[in-house]
Amino acid sequence: MSERIAAQLAFLVEVDKLKSTLRATTLCDGSRRENSGEHSWHIALYAMVMAEHSNRPINVNRVIQMLLIHDIVEIDAGDNPIHGDHDPAEQDAVEQAAADRIFGLLPSDQSANFRALWDEFEAAETDDAIFAKSIDRVQPVISNLETDGGTWPEYKVTPAQLQTRVGTKVQRGAPAIWEALKARIDGWFAQNT
């Protein structure tokens, strides 16, 4: 087997493990916790469907590619729930090491390209990354709304915390979507807290 194809397959086999990384949120039917592999599929589809609501010019295909790889570091670093406690600096160090290891399995040209795309997502400064980050925050909100608040009660999330941790990030890249969700969110908190 060519060394190049062998390296590509080694990467593709390694990332299979993302299907075993569990997130805080559940499926929309509440039957089980979602894993980061299926989340990555869903969120890429979110971007494909919702691209028109970006408040800045984006290349939807770059956003999709970014979202396909955005959580791969969780194979080593695990998922950190938005409303959970973790040390950002420590988390960042673990994720950087994970990116070195996992993207490093690819042939060097692809490794550099994938790493640059992931770095861009993490930095959240380009238009594409800002929209990708916004849409990544929308999906758990939908899951929670579909499952009667989902993880909000468990994490004792207040409307103000939701606005800070989620709302401001969705508003940065896709304010129309946050606007559309606001009434449903406010309705849930009014009835349940």
From 19, 56, 86, 101, residue interacting with a copy of itself (rule: CB under 8 A)? 19
What distances in angstroms separate CA 110 from CA 7, 14, 46, 58, 118, one per listed residue?
Answer: 10, 15, 25, 23, 12
Kindly state whether residue 8 participates in binding a copy of itself, applying the rule CB under 8 A: yes
Task: Kindly state the helix (H) or strand (E) to which residue 144 belongs, with its residue range.
Answer: helix 127-146
Strand, coil or helix: 21: coil
Kindly state whether residue 122 participates in binding a copy of itself, applying the rule CB under 8 A: no
Q: CA nearest 21: which of 125, 132, 98?
A: 98
From 45, 96, 155, 189, residue interacting with a copy of itself (rule: CB under 8 A)? 45
Binding segment for a copy of itself (CB under 8 A), chosen from 79-87, 88-96, 120-128, 142-150, is 142-150
| Backbone Cα Rg of the chain | 17
Answer left, alpha or beta for residue 125, where phi above 0 means left and psi between -120 and 50 means alpha.
alpha
Binding segment for a copy of itself (CB under 8 A), chosen from 62-70, 85-93, 125-133, 156-164, is 62-70
Kindly state whether residue 33 participates in binding a copy of itself, applying the rule CB under 8 A: no
Give me the least distance between CB of 154 and a copy of itself, in Å please. Answer: 20
Kindly state whether residue 23 participates in binding a copy of itself, applying the rule CB under 8 A: no
Q: Side-chain half-sphere of 139: how many Cα atoms within 13 Å?
A: 25
Residue that the structure tokens 């849409």 belong to: 135
Residues lying near a copy of itself in the complex (CB under 8 A)? 1-2, 5-6, 8-9, 11-13, 15-17, 19-20, 27-29, 31, 34-35, 37-38, 40-42, 44-46, 48-50, 53, 61, 64-65, 68-69, 106, 110, 139, 142-143, 146, 176-177, 180-181, 183-184
